[in-house]
Amino acid sequence: MDKASERFGSDSATRKEMYVCCLLRYRPGRQTSQRMPDKETAMVCKQWRMEVKSNHDRPKVLSVTSPAAMHNQRRVRMDRRVKKEHPSARNLFNPVPMDAGLPEGSPATAYAIHTQLIGRNGAGVDQTLLNTQWQLQSAEVRQHRDHWLIPNVVCSLLLEQKLRLQLNFLAPAVNSRTHHIDAARDKTGGPSEKAKGELKNIRIGAETTNYDKSERPMMQPRTQEGQKPHGDSVRSRQQSEKQQQEVTALIAALQLLFKVSDITTLVSVALVVIKTVAGTWSATVLWGCARYMLSKEPTSLTLERVSSMLRWKLLLGVEIRRDSLMISLLTIVIFIQAFTGPLLTGSVNWTSGSRLSVNAVSATTPGPGSLGAWYWYNAQGSFDKRPHLRTGVGLAGLAWADPSTMDAHGRSVTGNGCRHIMNDDGLLPDSVVVNVLMPCIDIHGIHWYRSADEMGAEEWDELNGGDLSLVNDDPFFYYTSGVSFVYNGSDIRSAPSNWEQPPPPYRFSGNKTVVVLLDRHEATDPPCRELTNTIFGDMDALPYYKPRARATGSSENCFLIGRVSFTAGVTTSRRARYINGRVIEDQTPIEEVEFAPDPWVREAIWLLPDMMTMIAITNASQLPSHDNIDYHTHGLLRQSYLGAWSVLSRNFNETQGEFRAFPAGPRLVAVVSFARVFSWLALCLLMTVSGALVLGFFLREKHLARLEDSELSNMVAQLLRSADVEEYPDKRAA
């Protein structure tokens, strides 16, 4: 073994591992160049007297046969002595002394060498791969229990240094009923999933005798036939997805997008074709009529009329008879049809539009926030809540700044009214984002009180307006008409017990009190009379109860009070459309919206008195008010809730939302006027049908002369000569 020590070095663990694998893998009958670097290494391996048998009819495993005289008891005794007397050897490549009971080249010797090698170098081996157990219980293995089974994969894994498995090769079991090799057992005793995955496709006993050079590189683990390794399958899947994306983009690029000039050209070509067909048909019909007229009355007057009809497609001065009237009407229809082209070309109008891309991009919501800000939101009272309130008012104004997205009552015309602010990701209007989490509110209706008996004490008489405000700003102190706010006198916000965590999820569905300031005017007795000139119109005509507040000797604030029913929460919008570069709106019908709880829903509702008051004061809502008090209150409540939830989620959520969006590209959309198209089509159809009827009627006449008659032929020749002379007067002079 001096040659082995000189060649590999006794201090190199990697070379020792390679050397042991060479010992285990060597076959005398195989070309050593496939597995061994030179003949010297092969000679060293032979010194161990490891005999390898290859049998094609049995499982193809490397087997080292023990001496024939060795029986089961001797092997058990040798195995025990190895474990007890030689737990760690200093020189791994020196054989165990013969006096220890381990014959040179025996399976126990090979086992001892490998055990000592692993025991010395196994400290750095990945422990996650030390829990795989291979069970070899086939009939062939039971029949050859005298053979020392060495899986071919062991050497491959060690030489490749990808899976340095700490394999504890056991000697053949004493009990003939169980024969197994325990490999890579960890502390838990169970096989690891990673080791299972790596070793699943490896055939422990499937090494062929004649190894194909071109099949696999040296020292690679075999996989099942037709199955790729795990890395290759991942790369193959990635390549397949990439090819699918390229095909999708190619299909999108090959889609035919017409320009305005293309549409105009196609319409013009269609008109030319139709005009040619119509001209051919009208010529046929007119010649048929001319033939009929000449056969009925072959006079010079008839020749003039026929000439005029053929030249101008108009028959003038015809006597009012059945035949002449039919021909005159037909020529008028043909004349009108010749000028119907502008009806078709003028039926196409162009307006701006968009087209969605098939490739998705990333769209993000503002943030992320911090729970530290949530701590200070609760710790410093109104001081730290004012910035959040003002930011929420700004977000509400941004979401509803475009009046073209609302109707005359202030309702949204671009979706269900649930809007949210996104980051400026460069997406144009009409782009679509899918599966986005956003706030939503559905206002079911408002019931205005008609008498004081309908009010509860906590709604008005015992209410302290300062308790409603989170920023110490009593909403009843504002004297601007249109100030509205929603509250619950028995549900006043108190600081949460845990400031380090967000509040529990909450979803609201029910009623709350709503008040609207109608006007501040001179005090009257009874109170709040003569409200004829308010921003909401004549309120005296409405039978609602109007309590007053902040009354002095000369002035009073007149309110309208009632109950509003609504559902508030969050929803995952399946399809939300960009109204502008930062505002999206859910496209789901409000009746089909699924409301879900969220930690910031209740906080947003508690913030409503301050939000609604400030939005009404800044006039950011642009809500119409005259004769529109219900929808004015609806819109103010909607905008305030959406803005409050948006600012709370943006400032306190620690994660930033990222969603898939499909950009929209600007396009010109052709809008067709069907009235003009059908008018043009009706005139063309009238000419075709009337010509067919007239021509069919004339062709049924029995007295219709044939063209070969001499008299008719002479008259036609005379007609042609007269037409030729009028067309070319120089010929007559000649």
> Which sequence spans correspond to the domains of the chain?
2-224, 227-255, 260-347+674-733, 361-667
What's the token pair of residue 366?
Answer: 């503002």
Predicted confidence (pLDDT) at residue 114 exceeds the cutoff of 80: no
Predicted confidence (pLDDT) at residue 309 exceeds the cutoff of 70: no
- H or E stretch including 613? helix 608-618
Closest CA to 22 of 93, 70, 78, 71: 93
For tokens 């809502």, name the residue: 621
Q: Which amino acid is at 550?
A: R
Predicted confidence (pLDDT) at residue 437 exceeds the cutoff of 90: yes
Whether the model clears a pTM of 0.95, i.e. scores above it, the answer is no
- Its sign, for the CA torsion 371, 373, 379, 385, is negative
- Distance CA(616)–CA(393), nearest Å, equals 10
Percent with pLDDT over 70 in the chain: 57
Predicted confidence (pLDDT) at residue 260 exceeds the cutoff of 70: yes
Predicted confidence (pLDDT) at residue 501 exceeds the cutoff of 60: yes
Give the lowest-confidence range in 205-209, 236-240, 339-343, 657-661: 205-209
pLDDT band at 279 (very low <50, low <70, confident <90, very high): confident
Q: Which of 156-160, 343-347, 706-710 has the highest mean pLDDT?
A: 343-347
Q: Do residues 167 and 194 make contact, with C-beta atoms less than 8 angstroms apart?
A: no
Please report the beta strands in 83-142, taking only residues with DSSP state E, as ranges in sequence order: 133-134
Q: Do residues 388 and 374 make contact, with C-beta atoms less than 8 angstroms apart?
A: no
If you ran DSSP here, which 8-state letter would residue 505 be given?
A: P
- Distance CA(391)–CA(366), nearest Å, equals 12
Q: What is the pLDDT at residue 569?
A: 97
Q: What is the pLDDT at residue 720?
A: 61
Decide which of 553 and 3 is more confident. 553
- H or E stretch including 354? strand 348-356
Which residues lie closer than 8 Å to 37 by C-beta, 6 or more apart?
A: none
Taking the alpha carbons at both ends of the chain, their separation in whole angstroms is: 131
Q: What is the pLDDT at residue 718?
A: 62
Q: What is the pLDDT at residue 250?
A: 52
Predicted confidence (pLDDT) at residue 183 exceeds the cutoff of 80: no
Mean pLDDT of 202-214: 35
What's the token pair of residue 505?
Answer: 């999820």
For tokens 């010079």, name the residue: 300
Mean pLDDT of 38-45: 55
3-state SS, one letter per residue, for 247-314 = HHHHHHHHCCCCCHHHHHHHHHHHHHHHHHHHHHHHHHHHHHHHHHHHHHCCCHHHHHHHHHHHHHCC
Q: What is the pLDDT at residue 449?
A: 95
Mean pLDDT of 362-385: 89
- Distance CA(105)–CA(52), nearest Å, equals 12
Q: Where are the alpha helices (DSSP H) in 352-413?
A: 371-379, 382-399
- Distance CA(306)–CA(311), nearest Å, equals 8
Q: What is the pLDDT at residue 286?
A: 77
**Pairing verdict, β 658-662 and 432-434:** antiparallel
Q: What is the pLDDT at residue 87?
A: 56
- Residue 142 DSSP SS3: helix
What's the token pair of residue 442?
Answer: 């559905």
Predicted confidence (pLDDT) at residue 415 exceeds the cutoff of 90: yes
Predicted confidence (pLDDT) at residue 566 exceeds the cutoff of 90: yes
Predicted confidence (pLDDT) at residue 623 exceeds the cutoff of 80: yes
- Distance CA(516)–CA(539), nearest Å, equals 12
Predicted confidence (pLDDT) at residue 69 exceeds the cutoff of 70: no
Give the lowest-confidence range in 224-228, 386-390, 589-593, 729-733: 224-228
pLDDT band at 238 (very low <50, low <70, confident <90, very high): low
3-state SS, one letter per residue, for 518-533 = EEEEECCCCCCCCCCC
- H or E stretch including 121? helix 107-121
Per-residue pLDDT tens over the stretch 340-367: 888 888 888 888 888 888 889 999 998 8
Q: Which amino acid is at 484?
A: S
Q: What is the pLDDT at residue 327?
A: 77
Predicted confidence (pLDDT) at residue 599 exceeds the cutoff of 80: yes
Phi/psi at 138 (5° precision): -70, 165
Q: What is the pLDDT at residue 45?
A: 54
Counting DSSP H helices and E strands in the chain, the numbers are 22, 17
Q: What is the pLDDT at residue 117?
A: 40
Q: What is the pLDDT at residue 264?
A: 84
Buried b (16+ CB within 10 A) or exposed e, 563-595: bbebbbbbbbbeebbbbbebbbbbebebeebeb
Length of the chain: 734
Q: What does the mean pLDDT of the chain come to?
A: 71
pLDDT band at 588 (very low <50, low <70, confident <90, very high): very high
CA dihedral 452, 455, 456, 462 (to 10 degrees): -70
What's the token pair of residue 517?
Answer: 């300031």
pLDDT band at 711 (very low <50, low <70, confident <90, very high): low
Percent helix, strand, coil in the chain, to 5, is 45, 15, 40
Q: Do residues 629 and 534 make contact, with C-beta atoms less than 8 angstroms apart?
A: no
Mean pLDDT of 641-650: 96
Burial of 282 (0-12, 13-18, 19+ CB in 10 A): buried
Q: What is the pLDDT at residue 516?
A: 95
Q: What is the pLDDT at residue 101?
A: 42
What Cα–Cα distance (Å) separates residue 65 from each residue in 82, 148, 426? 19, 7, 74
